[in-house]
Chains A and B, each alone.
Chain A
Protein backbone atom coordinates (compact mmCIF):
# COMPACT_ATOMS: atom_id res chain seq x y z
CA UNK A 1 0.00 0.00 0.00
CA UNK A 2 2.78 2.42 0.93
CA UNK A 3 4.52 1.58 -2.28
CA UNK A 4 1.29 2.27 -4.08
CA UNK A 5 0.87 5.64 -2.39
CA UNK A 6 4.45 6.90 -2.85
CA UNK A 7 4.25 7.64 -6.56
CA UNK A 8 1.19 9.74 -5.93
CA UNK A 9 3.09 11.79 -3.39
CA UNK A 10 6.26 12.34 -5.49
CA UNK A 11 5.01 12.49 -9.01
CA UNK A 12 8.02 14.33 -10.44
CA UNK A 13 10.97 13.19 -8.44
CA UNK A 14 12.79 11.90 -11.47
CA UNK A 15 12.10 15.08 -13.42
CA UNK A 16 13.41 17.12 -10.55
CA UNK A 17 16.58 15.16 -10.41
CA UNK A 18 17.10 15.57 -14.11
CA UNK A 19 16.83 19.31 -13.96
CA UNK A 20 20.21 20.89 -13.52
CA UNK A 21 20.48 24.65 -13.29
CA UNK A 22 23.70 26.62 -12.94
CA UNK A 23 24.51 25.39 -9.52
CA UNK A 24 28.23 26.01 -9.42
CA UNK A 25 29.99 29.19 -8.47
CA UNK A 26 29.59 31.86 -11.10
CA UNK A 27 32.50 34.27 -11.50
CA UNK A 28 32.52 37.84 -12.71
CA UNK A 29 35.87 39.42 -13.49
CA UNK A 30 36.70 43.10 -13.49
CA UNK A 31 40.27 43.49 -14.61
CA UNK A 32 40.15 47.27 -14.68
CA UNK A 33 39.35 47.38 -10.97
CA UNK A 34 41.17 44.15 -10.17
CA UNK A 35 38.03 42.61 -8.67
CA UNK A 36 36.58 39.12 -8.81
CA UNK A 37 32.99 38.52 -7.71
CA UNK A 38 32.03 34.95 -6.90
CA UNK A 39 28.32 34.25 -6.84
CA UNK A 40 26.59 31.17 -5.53
CA UNK A 41 23.05 30.41 -4.50
CA UNK A 42 21.53 27.98 -2.10
CA UNK A 43 19.74 25.77 -2.91
CA UNK A 44 21.70 24.97 -6.00
CA UNK A 45 18.44 24.52 -7.87
CA UNK A 46 16.24 27.39 -6.77
CA UNK A 47 12.52 26.78 -6.73
CA UNK A 48 9.55 29.05 -6.55
CA UNK A 49 8.06 30.09 -3.23
CA UNK A 50 11.04 28.83 -1.29
CA UNK A 51 13.77 31.12 0.05
CA UNK A 52 16.97 31.12 -1.95
CA UNK A 53 20.14 32.54 -0.50
CA UNK A 54 22.16 34.61 -2.95
CA UNK A 55 25.78 34.79 -1.84
CA UNK A 56 28.48 37.15 -3.02
CA UNK A 57 32.16 36.85 -2.30
CA UNK A 58 34.23 39.82 -3.46
CA UNK A 59 37.92 39.22 -3.95
CA UNK A 60 41.07 40.90 -5.08
CA UNK A 61 41.60 39.40 -8.51
CA UNK A 62 45.37 39.12 -8.12
CA UNK A 63 45.79 38.08 -4.51
CA UNK A 64 42.50 36.28 -3.92
CA UNK A 65 42.05 38.20 -0.66
CA UNK A 66 38.58 39.39 0.21
CA UNK A 67 38.02 43.09 -0.34
CA UNK A 68 36.96 44.89 2.82
CA UNK A 69 34.59 47.70 3.51
CA UNK A 70 32.15 47.15 0.68
CA UNK A 71 28.80 48.67 0.00
CA UNK A 72 26.45 47.07 -2.47
CA UNK A 73 23.05 46.77 -3.98
CA UNK A 74 21.55 43.63 -5.44
CA UNK A 75 18.79 43.57 -8.00
CA UNK A 76 16.76 40.55 -9.00
CA UNK A 77 15.44 41.09 -12.44
CA UNK A 78 13.04 39.11 -14.54
CA UNK A 79 10.92 39.68 -17.54
CA UNK A 80 7.68 37.99 -18.39
CA UNK A 81 5.33 38.87 -21.20
CA UNK A 82 7.85 41.46 -22.31
CA UNK A 83 7.61 43.36 -19.06
CA UNK A 84 10.63 43.74 -16.85
CA UNK A 85 10.17 43.64 -13.11
CA UNK A 86 12.75 43.86 -10.42
CA UNK A 87 13.32 43.66 -6.71
CA UNK A 88 16.25 45.40 -5.12
CA UNK A 89 18.24 45.22 -1.94
CA UNK A 90 19.93 48.51 -1.22
CA UNK A 91 22.38 49.83 1.31
CA UNK A 92 24.06 46.50 1.81
CA UNK A 93 27.29 46.75 3.72
CA UNK A 94 29.95 44.09 3.75
CA UNK A 95 32.88 44.95 5.97
CA UNK A 96 34.46 41.55 5.39
CA UNK A 97 33.90 41.33 1.66
CA UNK A 98 31.14 38.74 1.72
CA UNK A 99 27.39 39.19 1.87
CA UNK A 100 24.18 37.38 1.07
CA UNK A 101 20.49 38.06 0.61
CA UNK A 102 17.52 35.72 0.79
CA UNK A 103 14.94 35.96 -1.91
CA UNK A 104 11.79 34.02 -2.69
CA UNK A 105 11.39 33.68 -6.42
CA UNK A 106 7.67 34.08 -7.14
CA UNK A 107 7.61 32.38 -10.51
CA UNK A 108 9.74 29.97 -12.42
CA UNK A 109 11.95 31.08 -15.26
CA UNK A 110 15.26 32.79 -15.86
CA UNK A 111 16.24 35.63 -13.58
CA UNK A 112 19.15 38.03 -13.75
CA UNK A 113 20.81 38.83 -10.47
CA UNK A 114 22.66 42.11 -10.81
CA UNK A 115 25.06 43.53 -8.29
CA UNK A 116 26.62 46.94 -7.95
CA UNK A 117 29.48 46.80 -5.52
CA UNK A 118 31.66 49.63 -4.33
CA UNK A 119 34.98 49.04 -2.68
CA UNK A 120 35.79 52.07 -0.60
CA UNK A 121 39.27 50.84 0.15
CA UNK A 122 40.28 50.53 -3.48
CA UNK A 123 38.03 53.32 -4.77
CA UNK A 124 36.34 51.11 -7.30
CA UNK A 125 32.86 50.40 -8.49
CA UNK A 126 31.84 47.28 -10.33
CA UNK A 127 28.69 45.90 -11.89
CA UNK A 128 28.07 42.21 -12.31
CA UNK A 129 25.31 40.06 -13.76
CA UNK A 130 24.48 36.43 -13.05
CA UNK A 131 21.72 34.27 -14.54
CA UNK A 132 19.66 32.13 -12.19
CA UNK A 133 17.26 29.44 -13.36
CA UNK A 134 14.26 28.94 -11.12
CA UNK A 135 12.00 25.90 -11.29
CA UNK A 136 8.39 25.47 -10.35
CA UNK A 137 8.22 24.08 -6.81
CA UNK A 138 7.08 20.47 -7.39
CA UNK A 139 9.61 20.00 -10.10
CA UNK A 140 12.67 20.60 -8.13
CA UNK A 141 11.59 20.91 -4.55
CA UNK A 142 12.81 17.49 -3.66
CA UNK A 143 16.08 17.94 -2.05
CA UNK A 144 17.12 15.01 0.10
CA UNK A 145 15.99 16.55 3.36
CA UNK A 146 12.54 17.36 2.08
CA UNK A 147 12.29 13.99 0.41
CA UNK A 148 12.99 12.09 3.64
CA UNK A 149 10.48 14.25 5.51
CA UNK A 150 7.81 13.64 2.92
CA UNK A 151 8.65 9.95 2.86
CA UNK A 152 8.25 9.78 6.64
CA UNK A 153 4.89 11.55 6.42
CA UNK A 154 3.77 9.15 3.69
CA UNK A 155 4.95 6.19 5.73
CA UNK A 156 3.10 7.34 8.83
CA UNK A 157 0.01 8.12 6.79
CA UNK A 158 0.17 4.67 5.22
CA UNK A 159 0.58 2.95 8.58
CA UNK A 160 -2.29 4.95 10.06
CA UNK A 161 -4.49 4.10 7.07
CA UNK A 162 -3.56 0.43 7.37
CA UNK A 163 -4.42 0.47 11.08
CA UNK A 164 -7.76 2.12 10.41
CA UNK A 165 -8.59 -0.33 7.62
CA UNK A 166 -7.47 -3.27 9.76
CA UNK A 167 -9.61 -1.94 12.62
CA UNK A 168 -12.65 -1.63 10.39
CA UNK A 169 -12.03 -5.09 8.92
CA UNK A 170 -11.72 -6.46 12.43
CA UNK A 171 -15.00 -4.79 13.47
CA UNK A 172 -16.71 -5.89 10.28
CA UNK A 173 -15.64 -9.55 10.70
CA UNK A 174 -16.58 -9.53 14.38
CA UNK A 175 -20.08 -8.24 13.65
CA UNK A 176 -20.49 -10.79 10.87
CA UNK A 177 -19.43 -13.55 13.24
CA UNK A 178 -21.88 -12.31 15.89
CA UNK A 179 -24.70 -12.28 13.34
CA UNK A 180 -23.96 -15.89 12.34
CA UNK A 181 -24.00 -16.97 16.01
CA UNK A 182 -27.35 -15.21 16.58
CA UNK A 183 -28.85 -17.04 13.67
Chain B
Protein backbone atom coordinates (compact mmCIF):
# COMPACT_ATOMS: atom_id res chain seq x y z
CA UNK B 1 0.00 0.00 0.00
CA UNK B 2 1.35 3.37 -0.96
CA UNK B 3 1.57 5.97 1.70
CA UNK B 4 0.92 9.49 0.60
CA UNK B 5 3.07 12.36 1.96
CA UNK B 6 0.16 13.57 4.04
CA UNK B 7 -0.43 10.07 5.32
CA UNK B 8 3.29 9.78 5.99
CA UNK B 9 3.11 12.95 8.04
CA UNK B 10 0.09 11.66 9.91
CA UNK B 11 1.79 8.34 10.53
CA UNK B 12 4.87 10.15 11.83
CA UNK B 13 2.78 12.32 14.12
CA UNK B 14 0.92 9.26 15.35
CA UNK B 15 4.23 7.52 15.95
CA UNK B 16 5.58 10.49 17.87
CA UNK B 17 2.40 10.70 19.95
CA UNK B 18 2.52 6.96 20.62
CA UNK B 19 6.20 7.21 21.56
CA UNK B 20 5.55 10.16 23.84
CA UNK B 21 2.62 8.36 25.42
CA UNK B 22 4.74 5.29 25.98
CA UNK B 23 7.55 7.40 27.38
CA UNK B 24 5.24 9.35 29.68
CA UNK B 25 3.69 6.11 30.83
CA UNK B 26 7.13 4.80 31.61
CA UNK B 27 8.13 7.99 33.41
CA UNK B 28 4.91 7.82 35.39
CA UNK B 29 5.71 4.25 36.25
CA UNK B 30 9.16 5.20 37.46
CA UNK B 31 7.83 8.18 39.39
CA UNK B 32 5.15 6.08 41.02
CA UNK B 33 7.79 3.47 41.69
CA UNK B 34 9.90 6.09 43.39
CA UNK B 35 7.07 7.30 45.55
CA UNK B 36 6.11 3.83 46.56
CA UNK B 37 9.32 1.90 46.46
CA UNK B 38 12.11 3.88 44.91
CA UNK B 39 13.70 4.94 48.13
CA UNK B 40 13.36 1.49 49.52
CA UNK B 41 12.38 1.20 53.11
CA UNK B 42 11.90 4.76 54.16
CA UNK B 43 8.45 4.81 55.65
CA UNK B 44 6.04 2.48 57.27
CA UNK B 45 2.50 2.66 58.53
CA UNK B 46 1.80 0.25 61.33
CA UNK B 47 -1.61 -0.58 62.63
CA UNK B 48 -2.57 -0.65 66.27
CA UNK B 49 -5.33 0.29 68.64
CA UNK B 50 -5.95 2.18 71.84
CA UNK B 51 -9.10 0.90 73.43
CA UNK B 52 -11.76 1.21 70.76
CA UNK B 53 -9.78 3.75 68.78
CA UNK B 54 -7.53 2.85 65.90
CA UNK B 55 -4.01 3.98 66.59
CA UNK B 56 -1.78 3.68 63.56
CA UNK B 57 1.79 4.79 63.63
CA UNK B 58 3.45 6.40 60.66
CA UNK B 59 7.21 6.26 60.74
CA UNK B 60 8.74 8.18 57.90
CA UNK B 61 12.21 9.20 56.85
CA UNK B 62 12.54 12.71 55.41
CA UNK B 63 13.86 13.03 52.77
CA UNK B 64 12.97 9.70 51.29
CA UNK B 65 16.40 8.92 49.92
CA UNK B 66 18.95 8.54 52.66
CA UNK B 67 22.13 6.71 51.90
CA UNK B 68 25.56 6.48 53.43
CA UNK B 69 26.69 8.76 50.62
CA UNK B 70 24.09 11.47 51.21
CA UNK B 71 24.85 11.32 54.92
CA UNK B 72 28.56 11.67 54.24
CA UNK B 73 27.68 14.78 52.30
CA UNK B 74 26.11 16.33 55.38
CA UNK B 75 22.49 15.28 55.05
CA UNK B 76 20.58 15.44 58.33
CA UNK B 77 17.47 13.36 57.85
CA UNK B 78 14.38 13.70 59.99
CA UNK B 79 12.42 10.77 61.29
CA UNK B 80 8.76 11.52 61.74
CA UNK B 81 6.56 9.62 64.17
CA UNK B 82 2.86 10.30 63.92
CA UNK B 83 0.24 8.44 65.92
CA UNK B 84 -3.16 8.84 64.39
CA UNK B 85 -6.62 7.38 64.22
CA UNK B 86 -6.80 5.98 60.71
CA UNK B 87 -10.61 6.21 60.79
CA UNK B 88 -10.44 9.98 61.05
CA UNK B 89 -6.82 10.68 60.07
CA UNK B 90 -6.61 12.80 63.21
CA UNK B 91 -3.41 12.70 65.20
CA UNK B 92 -3.61 11.78 68.84
CA UNK B 93 -2.65 14.56 71.21
CA UNK B 94 -0.09 14.55 74.01
CA UNK B 95 1.69 11.49 72.73
CA UNK B 96 4.77 10.23 74.48
CA UNK B 97 6.87 7.90 72.39
CA UNK B 98 9.35 5.53 73.98
CA UNK B 99 11.77 4.88 71.15
CA UNK B 100 14.44 2.21 71.05
CA UNK B 101 16.73 2.07 68.05
CA UNK B 102 18.64 -1.09 67.26
CA UNK B 103 20.96 -2.15 64.51
CA UNK B 104 22.08 -5.72 64.04
CA UNK B 105 20.55 -6.58 67.40
CA UNK B 106 22.53 -3.93 69.24
CA UNK B 107 20.73 -1.14 71.06
CA UNK B 108 21.94 2.22 69.73
CA UNK B 109 19.78 4.47 71.86
CA UNK B 110 16.60 4.61 73.86
CA UNK B 111 14.70 7.56 75.23
CA UNK B 112 11.29 9.10 75.57
CA UNK B 113 9.99 11.87 73.37
CA UNK B 114 6.80 13.87 73.59
CA UNK B 115 4.78 15.85 71.13
CA UNK B 116 1.62 17.66 72.19
CA UNK B 117 0.17 17.27 68.71
CA UNK B 118 1.26 13.67 68.30
CA UNK B 119 3.51 14.46 65.36
CA UNK B 120 7.07 14.03 66.53
CA UNK B 121 10.03 14.88 64.35
CA UNK B 122 13.55 13.95 65.33
CA UNK B 123 16.52 15.22 63.42
CA UNK B 124 19.38 12.80 63.01
CA UNK B 125 22.87 14.25 62.98
CA UNK B 126 25.21 11.38 62.19
CA UNK B 127 28.81 11.87 63.19
CA UNK B 128 31.55 9.63 64.38
CA UNK B 129 31.89 11.15 67.85
CA UNK B 130 31.98 8.79 70.76
CA UNK B 131 28.54 9.05 72.29
CA UNK B 132 25.01 9.62 71.17
CA UNK B 133 23.65 12.86 72.57
CA UNK B 134 20.17 14.33 72.41
CA UNK B 135 19.46 18.04 72.36
CA UNK B 136 16.17 19.86 72.63
CA UNK B 137 13.72 21.08 75.22
CA UNK B 138 12.12 18.92 77.85
CA UNK B 139 8.70 18.67 79.39
CA UNK B 140 8.58 20.03 82.95
CA UNK B 141 6.96 17.10 84.68
CA UNK B 142 8.33 13.89 83.22
CA UNK B 143 11.46 15.37 81.68
CA UNK B 144 10.70 14.06 78.20
CA UNK B 145 12.41 15.31 75.08
CA UNK B 146 10.22 17.62 73.12
CA UNK B 147 10.78 19.23 69.78
CA UNK B 148 9.39 22.44 68.50
CA UNK B 149 9.34 23.78 64.99
CA UNK B 150 12.00 26.31 65.90
CA UNK B 151 14.03 23.96 68.01
CA UNK B 152 13.60 20.36 66.89
CA UNK B 153 14.88 17.60 69.06
CA UNK B 154 18.07 16.25 67.58
CA UNK B 155 20.07 13.10 68.04
CA UNK B 156 23.76 13.40 67.29
CA UNK B 157 26.49 10.83 67.31
CA UNK B 158 27.42 7.52 65.76
CA UNK B 159 24.05 6.75 64.27
CA UNK B 160 23.17 5.95 60.66
CA UNK B 161 26.87 5.71 59.94
CA UNK B 162 26.44 2.46 58.09
CA UNK B 163 23.82 1.36 55.64
CA UNK B 164 21.27 -1.34 56.23
CA UNK B 165 18.24 -1.92 58.37
CA UNK B 166 17.54 0.08 61.49
CA UNK B 167 15.01 -1.37 63.87
CA UNK B 168 12.74 1.11 65.63
CA UNK B 169 10.76 -0.22 68.57
CA UNK B 170 8.16 2.33 69.59
CA UNK B 171 5.90 2.10 72.62
CA UNK B 172 3.21 4.68 73.24
CA UNK B 173 3.49 5.85 76.85
CA UNK B 174 0.85 8.58 76.99
CA UNK B 175 -1.98 9.91 74.88
CA UNK B 176 -4.59 12.62 75.51
CA UNK B 177 -2.73 13.94 78.54
CA UNK B 178 0.95 14.43 79.30
CA UNK B 179 0.69 12.42 82.48
CA UNK B 180 -1.85 9.73 81.62
CA UNK B 181 0.65 6.90 81.52
CA UNK B 182 -0.70 3.84 79.78
CA UNK B 183 -0.34 0.57 81.66
CA UNK B 184 1.63 -2.21 80.04
CA UNK B 185 -1.40 -4.07 78.75
CA UNK B 186 -2.77 -0.98 77.00
CA UNK B 187 0.36 0.58 75.59
CA UNK B 188 0.74 -0.33 71.93
CA UNK B 189 4.17 -1.36 70.73
CA UNK B 190 5.24 -1.00 67.13
CA UNK B 191 8.15 -2.60 65.31
CA UNK B 192 9.48 -0.82 62.30
CA UNK B 193 12.49 -1.30 60.10
CA UNK B 194 13.79 1.64 58.14
CA UNK B 195 16.68 1.37 55.79
CA UNK B 196 19.66 3.54 55.16
CA UNK B 197 20.82 2.88 51.65
CA UNK B 198 24.31 1.53 51.59
CA UNK B 199 26.21 3.03 48.72
CA UNK B 200 28.96 0.99 47.09
CA UNK B 201 31.09 2.68 44.48
CA UNK B 202 32.84 0.24 42.19
CA UNK B 203 34.71 0.23 38.92
CA UNK B 204 33.98 -2.25 36.17
CA UNK B 205 36.11 -2.95 33.14
CA UNK B 206 33.98 -2.60 30.02
CA UNK B 207 35.91 -3.20 26.83
CA UNK B 208 39.09 -2.08 28.50
CA UNK B 209 37.58 1.10 29.92
CA UNK B 210 37.02 1.65 33.60
CA UNK B 211 33.39 2.54 34.20
CA UNK B 212 32.43 3.83 37.68
CA UNK B 213 29.19 2.34 38.91
CA UNK B 214 27.23 2.93 42.07
CA UNK B 215 25.07 0.35 43.83
CA UNK B 216 22.68 1.37 46.57
CA UNK B 217 21.32 -1.40 48.72
CA UNK B 218 18.22 -0.47 50.69
CA UNK B 219 18.00 -3.72 52.58
CA UNK B 220 21.42 -4.59 53.91
CA UNK B 221 25.07 -4.01 53.25
CA UNK B 222 26.47 -5.64 50.15
CA UNK B 223 29.60 -7.69 49.89
CA UNK B 224 31.69 -9.69 47.43
CA UNK B 225 31.13 -7.43 44.48
CA UNK B 226 32.44 -8.77 41.20
CA UNK B 227 32.24 -8.18 37.48
CA UNK B 228 32.70 -10.86 34.86
CA UNK B 229 34.18 -8.93 31.95
CA UNK B 230 33.67 -11.77 29.50
CA UNK B 231 29.98 -12.29 30.25
CA UNK B 232 29.40 -8.64 31.18
CA UNK B 233 27.82 -9.80 34.38
CA UNK B 234 27.65 -7.89 37.67
CA UNK B 235 27.42 -9.90 40.82
CA UNK B 236 27.17 -9.07 44.47
CA UNK B 237 25.95 -10.68 47.67
CA UNK B 238 23.90 -9.55 50.63
CA UNK B 239 23.18 -11.20 53.98
CA UNK B 240 19.64 -12.53 54.02
CA UNK B 241 17.67 -14.80 56.31
CA UNK B 242 15.63 -17.12 54.09
CA UNK B 243 13.51 -18.50 56.90
CA UNK B 244 10.04 -18.86 55.42
CA UNK B 245 8.05 -18.23 58.57
CA UNK B 246 10.05 -15.08 59.20
CA UNK B 247 9.25 -13.86 55.71
CA UNK B 248 5.60 -14.74 56.05
CA UNK B 249 5.34 -12.72 59.25
CA UNK B 250 7.36 -9.76 58.03
CA UNK B 251 6.63 -6.70 56.01
CA UNK B 252 9.52 -6.99 53.66
CA UNK B 253 10.79 -5.50 50.46
CA UNK B 254 14.26 -5.87 48.98
CA UNK B 255 15.48 -3.14 46.72
CA UNK B 256 18.86 -2.76 45.03
CA UNK B 257 19.66 0.14 42.76
CA UNK B 258 22.52 0.12 40.25
CA UNK B 259 23.65 3.31 38.53
CA UNK B 260 25.72 2.77 35.39
CA UNK B 261 26.97 5.70 33.31
CA UNK B 262 26.25 5.43 29.60
CA UNK B 263 26.82 4.90 26.80
CA UNK B 264 29.12 1.92 26.86
CA UNK B 265 29.03 -1.73 25.89
CA UNK B 266 27.30 -2.61 29.16
CA UNK B 267 24.40 -0.25 28.59
CA UNK B 268 24.12 -0.46 24.85
CA UNK B 269 21.63 -3.32 24.76
CA UNK B 270 19.03 -1.24 26.55
CA UNK B 271 17.82 -3.93 28.87
CA UNK B 272 18.92 -6.19 31.72
CA UNK B 273 18.25 -9.59 33.19
CA UNK B 274 18.93 -10.79 36.67
CA UNK B 275 19.11 -13.76 38.97
CA UNK B 276 19.02 -14.30 42.70
CA UNK B 277 20.84 -17.39 43.88
CA UNK B 278 20.59 -18.69 40.33
CA UNK B 279 16.82 -18.18 40.03
CA UNK B 280 15.74 -15.93 37.19
CA UNK B 281 14.20 -12.72 38.55
CA UNK B 282 14.28 -10.71 35.32
CA UNK B 283 10.68 -9.65 35.82
CA UNK B 284 11.84 -7.90 38.98
CA UNK B 285 14.54 -5.98 37.15
CA UNK B 286 13.42 -2.49 36.14
CA UNK B 287 15.33 -0.05 34.02
CA UNK B 288 14.95 3.66 34.51
CA UNK B 289 16.59 5.11 31.42
CA UNK B 290 15.04 8.52 31.77
CA UNK B 291 18.48 9.91 32.57
CA UNK B 292 20.42 10.32 29.34
CA UNK B 293 23.73 9.97 31.16
CA UNK B 294 23.10 6.84 33.18
CA UNK B 295 21.02 3.71 33.36
CA UNK B 296 19.43 3.19 36.76
CA UNK B 297 18.66 -0.47 37.21
CA UNK B 298 16.30 -1.39 40.03
CA UNK B 299 16.09 -4.92 41.38
CA UNK B 300 12.91 -4.99 43.41
CA UNK B 301 11.70 -8.04 45.26
CA UNK B 302 8.35 -7.68 47.00
CA UNK B 303 7.20 -10.06 49.67
CA UNK B 304 5.28 -12.47 47.44
CA UNK B 305 8.24 -12.90 45.13
CA UNK B 306 10.56 -13.29 48.08
CA UNK B 307 8.38 -16.08 49.44
CA UNK B 308 8.46 -17.88 46.09
CA UNK B 309 12.20 -17.38 45.90
CA UNK B 310 12.72 -18.58 49.45
CA UNK B 311 10.72 -21.71 48.75
CA UNK B 312 12.90 -22.48 45.75
CA UNK B 313 16.13 -21.62 47.51
CA UNK B 314 15.28 -23.74 50.55
CA UNK B 315 14.55 -26.67 48.20
CA UNK B 316 17.88 -26.08 46.49
CA UNK B 317 19.61 -26.24 49.87
CA UNK B 318 21.06 -22.75 49.58
CA UNK B 319 19.16 -21.17 52.42
CA UNK B 320 21.67 -22.05 55.10
CA UNK B 321 24.28 -19.81 53.51
CA UNK B 322 22.27 -16.80 54.67
CA UNK B 323 23.13 -15.02 51.45
CA UNK B 324 21.12 -13.40 48.70
CA UNK B 325 23.38 -13.55 45.66
CA UNK B 326 22.54 -11.22 42.78
CA UNK B 327 23.64 -11.21 39.17
CA UNK B 328 22.68 -8.59 36.61
CA UNK B 329 23.69 -8.52 32.98
CA UNK B 330 22.65 -6.73 29.83
CA UNK B 331 20.09 -8.18 27.51
CA UNK B 332 18.83 -7.11 24.14
CA UNK B 333 15.73 -4.99 24.21
CA UNK B 334 13.90 -3.74 27.21
CA UNK B 335 13.79 -6.14 30.07
CA UNK B 336 11.58 -3.92 32.12
CA UNK B 337 9.40 -6.10 34.22
CA UNK B 338 5.95 -5.16 35.18
CA UNK B 339 5.62 -3.42 38.49
CA UNK B 340 5.70 -5.97 41.21
CA UNK B 341 2.37 -6.63 42.77
CA UNK B 342 3.61 -6.05 46.25
CA UNK B 343 1.59 -4.38 48.87
CA UNK B 344 2.37 -0.74 48.67
CA UNK B 345 3.14 -0.28 52.30
CA UNK B 346 6.71 -0.54 51.16
CA UNK B 347 7.93 -2.03 54.26
CA UNK B 348 10.89 -3.42 55.36
CA UNK B 349 12.92 -6.04 56.89
CA UNK B 350 12.28 -8.61 59.48
CA UNK B 351 9.67 -7.87 62.09
CA UNK B 352 10.02 -10.86 64.24
| Residue contact A127 to B173, C-beta cutoff 8 Å | yes
Q: Contacts of A90 on B, CB cut-off 8 Å?
A: 143
Q: How far is the CB of A67 from chain B (nearest CB, A)?
A: 15
State in angstroms the CA–CA spacing of A114 and B112 once bound together. 15
Q: How far is the CB of B104 from chain A (nearest CB, A)?
A: 16
Q: How far is the CB of B101 from chain A (nearest CB, A)?
A: 11
| Residue contact B141 to A124, C-beta cutoff 8 Å | no
Quick one: closest B residue to A128, CB to CB? Answer: B181
Interface size class of B (residues with CB under 8 A): 10 to 19
Query: Restricting to A41-89, which residues have a CB under 8 Å from any CB of B?
Result: 73, 75, 77, 84, 86, 88
State in angstroms the CA–CA spacing of A125 and B174 once bound together. 14
Check B110 for interface membership: any CB of A closer than 8 A.
yes
Q: Contacts of A30 on B, CB cut-off 8 Å?
A: 184
Q: Contacts of B96 on A, CB cut-off 8 Å?
A: 127
| Residue contact B184 to A31, C-beta cutoff 8 Å | yes
| Residue contact A124 to B110, C-beta cutoff 8 Å | yes
Check A116 for interface membership: any CB of B closer than 8 A.
yes
| Residue contact A114 to B181, C-beta cutoff 8 Å | yes
Check B262 for interface membership: any CB of A closer than 8 A.
no
| Residue contact B141 to A127, C-beta cutoff 8 Å | no
Grouping DSSP codes into helix (H, G, I), strand (E, B) and loop, the B interface class, with mixed when no group exceeds half, is strand
Q: A125-B112, A128-B181 are in contact. Are A86 and B141 (CB under 8 A)?
A: yes
Q: A29-B184, A77-B179 are in contact. Are A123 and B141 (CB under 8 A)?
A: no
State in angstroms the CA–CA spacing of A30 and B183 once bound together. 8
Q: A32-B171, A124-B110, A127-B112 are in contact. Are A77 and B184 (CB under 8 A)?
A: no
Check B142 for interface membership: any CB of A closer than 8 A.
yes
Q: A32-B169, A127-B112 are in contact. Are A75 and B141 (CB under 8 A)?
A: yes
| Residue contact A77 to B112, C-beta cutoff 8 Å | no
Quick one: closest A residue to B173, CB to CB? Answer: A127
What are the interface flags for A77-105 relative to B under an 8 Å C-beta threshold, 1 for contact and 0 otherwise?
A: 10000001010101000000000000000
Among A31, A88, A114, A125, contact of B98 (Cβ-Cβ < 8 Å):
A125
| Residue contact A77 to B141, C-beta cutoff 8 Å | yes
What are the interface flags for B187-212 relative to A under an 8 Å C-beta threshold, 1 for contact and 0 otherwise?
A: 00100000000000000000000000
Query: Restricting to A11-33, which residues have a CB under 8 Å from any CB of B?
Result: 28-32
Q: Contacts of B179 on A, CB cut-off 8 Å?
A: 75, 77, 84, 112, 114, 129
Q: How far is the CB of B49 from chain A (nearest CB, A)?
A: 17
State in angstroms the CA–CA spacing of A73 and B140 once bound together. 12
What are the interface flags for B281-308 relative to A under an 8 Å C-beta threshold, 1 for contact and 0 otherwise?
A: 0000000000000000000000000000
Query: Which residues of B are at the interface with A, using a C-beta cutoff of 8 A?
Result: 96, 98, 107, 110-112, 141-143, 169, 171, 173-174, 179, 181, 183-184, 189
Q: List 7 A-B contacts (CB under 8 A).
A: A84-B179, A90-B143, A114-B142, A124-B110, A127-B142, A127-B174, A129-B179
Q: Which A-B residue pairs are the 8 nearest by beta carbons?
A: A129-B181, A29-B184, A127-B181, A123-B107, A127-B173, A31-B184, A75-B141, A116-B142
